[in-house]
Structure 1
Amino acid sequence: MTKGPTEEEIRKIIMPLMLSGAKMLDRHCPKCGSPLFEKDGKVFCPVCEHRKKQRQAELKGVEERLMEKLNELANSLPEDIEELEKHLRVMELIINLLERYKVLEGGE
């Protein structure tokens, strides 16, 4: 079970949601313990949704930095064969990491 909502999450997520007309239900999220809400016919956990969006943004930021590094490496290939091999190994590692991030993004 994930940790329940923090004070900041209550202040930034739950309170504005209540003010927006969403209905707080008398049921709680089995994952984090936050009250479930209903809005526009949809029942959801605002805390879990917020945390998921945060994780996706973090993954996107890492992915962007890895792509920048990969492009930097691709644009500066050394002439020396040993250095080139090291360079290509690092590029391969970055590509493997990017593939893992794609899997994580899709699996959320």
Structure 2
Amino acid sequence: MATRRSVLGDAHVDRAEAAKTPFDEPFQTFITEGAWGSVWSRPHFTKRERSIVTLALLAGMGNFDEVAMHVRATANTGATRDDLIEAMLHVAVYCGVPKANHAIKIIKQTYAEMDGAA
């Protein structure tokens, strides 16, 4: 939970925890333990590197629902806008231009919101 909070921020995790129901509690436990407690807590990659990889994978697989959340998390992980455009170029080459294009649209919109311009 500490890693999840350090990446996503207390506000996001508090909202997720408050919205948890008996139905999705096993899933919330699974992602907290598996993704955050196991994978994101490993020492080899930095949180910045994990952010870049995560966003590239989300975009490359077309899992766009979590892109904005992970873009907002870059404020905590240190991944930069330059890092993300480089990652999206890789997505375009290896996974397809339409996927990268859609992810870039979400990334731009999220940065505009973060900058207070949206």
Question: Could you tell me the TM-score, scaled by structure 1's length?
Answer: 0.29
Relative contact order higher in (CA < 8 Å, ≥ 6 apart): 2
Question: Could you tell me the TM-score, scaled by structure 2's length?
Answer: 0.27
Structure with more of its chain in strand, by fraction: 1
